[in-house]
Amino acid sequence: MKTMVAVLTVLTVIIAFWYAACLPMNIKGVLTQAERAGAEVVPVGAKERRDLGAIGLVLGNQFAIAATWSQDRPRLPAPHQVAVELWKTTGAMVLKGKPMSKRSLIFHGWVTLSATLLGFAMGTGLGILLAVGIVHSKVMDMSVMPWAIVSQTIPIIALAPMIIVVLYSVGVQGILPKAIISAYLSFFPVVVGMVKGLRSPDAMQLDLLRTYNASANQGFWALRLPASMPYLFTSLKIGIAASLVGAIVGELPTGAVAGLGARLLGGSYYGQTVQIWSALFAAAILAACLVALLGVIERVVLKRMGMSA
C-alpha cells in the first residue's frame, strides 16, 4: 500500500512536470498560430517574440495555455496526446481488426521484438559460451576478456551502419543484421555476470569437490553452473534491455520502413513529434515487459532450485 502511494506520487509529479514543460516548449508555436487566426497576442509579431523568454510569453498570454497541450505538431507533446496516439495505434487497431496494419505500433513493435529476441538469444548463447571458456581457461581469460571490454567502448551508433553495410555486401539482410547488433550489445552483460557467477563458489566448496576427486566437468555441472544462476538472471535483465536498444539502433541507418526505430526515424523526418514520443514509449513499455517477464522466470526458476530463501 505504502509503496503504491509512493509510486503514484512519483508518477504524478513526473506527469505534472511534463505538462508544465509543455508550456514554455510550445508557447511560441501556439502564439504564431493564434496570431494568424486573428487572436490578440502580446507582443505582436513572431519576430518580436523570438528573443523573448518563453516563460514570460506564457505569463503574458495565459489564454494560450490550453492550446500548448493540444497542438498538432508540438515541440513537446503533452502526456495525453502521447497516450491517445498510443491507443490509436495499438488498442484501437485491434478493435478495428487490423492489428498488423502498417500504422499499427503492434506491427512495428513485433518487427523490433522479433529482432530483439533473436539477438538476445544469440547474445546470451555467445555470452555464456565465452564465460565458460574464460572461467576454464586462463588463456581465454587473458585473450578474450579485454576484447569483450573494448567491444563495448565503441559507440554502437557508429558501428551499426558498418555492420549492416558489411552484411549487406555478403547478401545478409532482413532481421539478421538487426539481431546481430542486438547480440553485440547483449552478450557483454551476460559474459560479465556469468564469469562472476561461475567464479562465485568459494575455495571451500571447490576444495570439497577436490576431496571427491571430481573432474572439472563435474564441478561445472554440480557447482559452478547452479551457483551462477542468480548472476545470470541479473545479467539477462540488463541484456534484454540492451538487445532492444540494439534492434532499434539497427533500424535507424537502413531507413527501415518497419519497426519502432523506423517509426522514430519517420516521425523525425516529418516533424511528427507525437509519433516519435509514442514510439519511444512503446519501446520503453516493451523493455519493461521483457524485464518483468525475465523477473517472473527468475523467481520461478530460483524457487524451483530452492534458492529463493
Partner 1 sequence: MTTETTTQAVIEARNLDLVFQTNDGPVQALRDVNLTINKGDFVSFIGPSGCGKTTFLRVMAALEQPTGGEITVNGMSPDEARRQRAYGYVFQASGLYPWRNIARNITLPLEIMGYSKAEQKKRLNEVLELVELSGFEGKYPWQLSGGMQQRASIARALAFEADILLMDEPFGALDEIVRDHLNEQLLKLWARTNKTIAFVTHSIPEAVYLSTRIVVMSPRPGRITDVIESPLPKERPLDIRDSPEFIEIAHRVREGLRAGHGDDV
Among positions 208, 258, 280, 285, the unique one binding partner 1 when judged by CB under 8 A: 208
In whole angstroms, the minimum distance from the beta carbon of 227 to partner 1 comes to 8
Among positions 129, 226, 234, 281, the unique one binding partner 1 when judged by CB under 8 A: 226
Task: Give the interface segment with partner 1, choosing from 128-136, 185-193, 212-220, 292-300 (CB under 8 A).
Answer: 212-220
Q: How many residues bind partner 1 (CB under 8 A)?
A: 20
Angle at 286 between CA 243 and CA 77, to 5 degrees: 115
Task: Give the interface segment with partner 1, choosing from 28-36, 77-85, 192-200, 216-224 (CB under 8 A).
Answer: 216-224
| 61 close to 27: Cβ distance less than 8 angstroms | yes
Residue 303 in contact with partner 1, rule: CB under 8 A: no
Residue 212 in contact with partner 1, rule: CB under 8 A: yes
Among positions 54, 229, 258, 280, the unique one binding partner 1 when judged by CB under 8 A: 229
Residue 218 in contact with partner 1, rule: CB under 8 A: yes
By beta-carbon proximity to partner 1, the closer residue of 51 and 207 is 207
Residues numbered 148-207 forming contacts with partner 1, rule: CB under 8 A = 204-205, 207
Among positions 223, 238, 240, 287, the unique one binding partner 1 when judged by CB under 8 A: 223
In whole angstroms, the minimum distance from the beta carbon of 96 to partner 1 comes to 49
Residue 232 in contact with partner 1, rule: CB under 8 A: no
By beta-carbon proximity to partner 1, the closer residue of 80 and 210 is 210
What is the DSSP annotation of the chain? -HHHHHHHHHHHHHHHHHHHHHHHHHHHHHHHHHHHTT---SSSSHHHHHTS-HHHHHHHTGGGTGGGGS-SS-SS--HHHHHHHHHHHTHHHHHTT-TTSTT-HHHHHHHHHHHHHHHHHHHHHHHHHHHHHHHH-HHHHHHHHHHHHHHTTS-HHHHHHHHHHHHHHTT--THHHHHHHHHHHHHHHHHHHHHHHHT-S-HHHHHHHHHTT--HHHHIIIIIHHHHHHHHHHHHHHHHHHHHHHHHHHHTTTT-SSSHHHHHHHHHHTT-HHHHHHHHHHHHHHHHHHHHHHHHHHHHHHHHTT---
Among positions 3, 62, 153, 213, the unique one binding partner 1 when judged by CB under 8 A: 213
Residue 297 in contact with partner 1, rule: CB under 8 A: no
Rg over alpha carbons for the chain, rounded to the nearest Å, is: 25
Task: Give the interface segment with partner 1, choosing from 34-42, 161-169, 253-261, 299-307 (CB under 8 A).
Answer: 299-307
Distance CA 289, CA 111 (A): 16
Residue 234 in contact with partner 1, rule: CB under 8 A: no
Tell me which residues touch partner 1 (CB under 8 A).
204-205, 207-214, 218, 222-223, 226-227, 229, 305-307, 309
